[in-house]
């Protein structure tokens, strides 16, 4: 299980009440869902799609965000179905509703944070 917390920039030391969780199946199998869990209300919402495997969710705050979930969640998603191209998933961080996706017709590494190449290279 991986946990991503959200919060306004510079909010170190503040309590986070919402977590974005990437869950794994038995024996470390690939994750097939992402969950937003509110530790105060104990409510959760999930994103999942059959045969799809999301990477670790990344929170991007809206400009001027005040609330800890004011922004979007980004996750690269690969599929076991050869008819489904890899895509970048964009979720509303408050509602967990899909805002969009950008598909590309190439193979993509599982982790969104798995490789960083500076523009200067």
Is 109 assigned to a binding site? no
Cα separation values, 58 from 68, 83, 105, Å = 13, 26, 22
3-state helix vs strand vs coil in the chain, percent to 5: 0, 40, 55
DSSP annotation of 24 reads -
For residue 106, the number of C-alpha atoms closer than 13 Å in the C-beta half-sphere is: 2
Q: 60's torsion region: left (phi>0), alpha (psi -120 to 50) or beta?
A: beta
**Residues of each annotated binding site:** 113
Q: Which residue ranges make up the annotated binding site for Fe cation?
A: 113
């Amino acid at each position: 299980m991986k946990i991503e917390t959200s919060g306004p920039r510079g909010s170190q030391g503040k309590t986070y009440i919402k977590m974005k969780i990437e869950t794994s199946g038995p024996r470390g199998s690939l994750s097939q869902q992402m969950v937003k869990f509110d530790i105060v209300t104990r409510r959760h919402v999930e994103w999942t799609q059959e045969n799809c495997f999301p990477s670790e969710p990344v929170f991007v705050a809206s400009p001027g965000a005040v609330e800890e979930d004011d922004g979007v969640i980004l996750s690269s998603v690969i599929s076991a179905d050869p008819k489904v191209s890899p895509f970048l998933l964009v979720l509303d961080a408050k509602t967990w509703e899909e805002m969009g996706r950008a598909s590309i017709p190439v193979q993509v590494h599982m982790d969104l944070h798995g490789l960083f190449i500076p523009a200067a290279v």
